[in-house]
Amino acid sequence: MKLENRTYDELSVGDTASLRRIAREDDFLIFATASGNHNPVHIAAYDGDGDGTPEAIAPSLWIGSLISAVLGNMLPGPGTLYRHQDFDFLGRAEAGDELEITVEVTEKLADDCLALATSVTRVGDGETVVQGRAVVQAPRRKLSFDALEVPGLVVQRHRHFERLLDRVAGLPALVTAVVAPEEPNSLGGALLAAERQVITPILVGSRALMQEAADSLGRSLDGIEIIDEPDHHRAAGLAVDLVADGRAGALMKGHLHTDDLLHAALRKERGLRTGRRFTHVFVMDVPGLSHPVLVSDAAVNIQPDLKTKVDIVQNAIDVAISIGIEEPKVGVLSAVETVNPDMPSSLDAALLSKMAERGQITGGLVDGPLAMDNALDLGAARTKGIRSAVAGLAEVLIVPNIDAGNMLAKQLAVVSHAEGAGLVLGASVPIILTSRADGDMARLASCAVAALHFARTSGRTGG
SS3 content of the chain, % helix, strand, coil (to 5): 35, 25, 40
CA distance 371 to 392: 10
Distance between terminal CA atoms of the chain? 55
Closest CA to 88 of 66, 119, 57: 119
pLDDT tens-digit map of 207-220: 999 999 999 999 99
What's the CA dihedral at 136, 142, 147, 153 to 10 degrees? Answer: -10
CA distance 394 to 332: 9
The pLDDT, as a whole number, for residue 246 is 95
CATH numbers and ranges of domains, the chain: 3-145 (3.10.129.10), 277-426 (3.40.718.10)
The pLDDT, as a whole number, for residue 461 is 46
DSSP string of 156-174, one letter each residue: ---HHHHHHHHHHTTSPPE
CA distance 69 to 83: 15
Q: Is 126 exposed, middle or buried (0-12, 13-18, 19+ CB in 10 A)?
A: exposed
List CB contacts of 243: < 8 A, sequence separation 6 or more.
177, 249, 250, 251, 272, 428, 429
Q: Is 0.75 topped by the overall pTM?
A: yes
What is the amino acid identity at position 203?
A: L
CB contact at 8 A, 213 and 183: yes
CB contact at 8 A, 149 and 399: no
List CB contacts of 406: < 8 A, sequence separation 6 or more.
298, 299
With residue 333 as reference, give the H or E element that holds it: strand 329-333
The pLDDT, as a whole number, for residue 203 is 98
- Which residue ranges of the chain lie beneath pLDDT 70? 154, 156, 460-463
DSSP string of 339-381, one letter each residue: --TT-HHHHHHHHHHHHHHTTSS-SSEEEEEE-HHHHH-HHHH
The pLDDT, as a whole number, for residue 462 is 42
CA distance 20 to 22: 7
CA distance 380 to 160: 24
Q: Residue 293 forms beta bridges with which residues?
A: 284
